[in-house]
């Protein structure tokens, strides 16, 4: 950030994880909003039904949470790294 200052790698990791989380949240909102408000252009008499629910409701409020919970689980297991929370970072010889 500042010239001559070395930024702790934990802050870089935390920033990356925060950005990933915000992107996933924005994608989930777009998914939900898209199906909830733009899932059908016609009236209720022309709805498509899945498991007895209108399609827009099924995709936005039933399938969406399950799908994005799975994506969040995968993101945590594949992208996020475990970091030390101790105040002093141990020098492991890397720069």
Residue 63, domain member (yes or no): yes
Whether residue 2 contacts residue 53, with contact meaning beta carbons closer than 8 Å, is answered with no
Residue 5, domain member (yes or no): no
**pLDDT-above-70 percentage for the chain:** 86
Residue 66, domain member (yes or no): yes
User: What pLDDT band is residue 28 in, cutting at 50, 70 and 90?
Assistant: very high
Please measure the distance between the N-terminal and C-terminal CA atoms of the chain and give it in whole angstroms. Answer: 16
**Which pLDDT score is estimated for 32?**
94
Q: Which two tokens stand for residue 10?
A: 């934990």
Q: Which two tokens stand for residue 5?
A: 């200052």
Name the residue range of residue 53's domain: 23-40+47-81
User: What pLDDT band is residue 26 in, cutting at 50, 70 and 90?
Assistant: very high
Residue 1, domain member (yes or no): no
User: What pLDDT band is residue 19 in, cutting at 50, 70 and 90?
Assistant: very high
User: What pLDDT band is residue 83 in, cutting at 50, 70 and 90?
Assistant: confident
Handedness of CA 16, 21, 24, 30 (dihedral sign): negative
Cβ count near 14 (within 10 Å): 13
DSSP for residue 86 = S
Residue 27, domain member (yes or no): yes
What's the structural domain count of the chain?
Answer: 1
**Which tens digits make up the pLDDT trace of 32-73?**
999 988 877 777 777 888 888 988 899 999 999 999 999 999
Residue 29, domain member (yes or no): yes
User: What pLDDT band is residue 87 in, cutting at 50, 70 and 90?
Assistant: confident
Whether residue 94 contacts residue 57, with contact meaning beta carbons closer than 8 Å, is answered with no
């Amino acid at each position: 950030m500042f010239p001559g200052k070395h930024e702790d790698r934990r802050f870089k990791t935390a920033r990356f994880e925060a950005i990933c989380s915000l992107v996933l949240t924005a994608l989930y909102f777009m998914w939900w909003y898209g199906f909830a408000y733009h899932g059908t252009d016609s009236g209720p008499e022309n709805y498509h039904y899945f498991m007895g629910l209108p399609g827009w409701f099924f995709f936005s409020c039933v399938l969406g949470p399950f799908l994005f919970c799975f994506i969040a689980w995968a993101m945590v297991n594949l992208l996020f790294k475990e970091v030390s929370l101790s105040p002093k970072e141990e020098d492991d010889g890397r720069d």
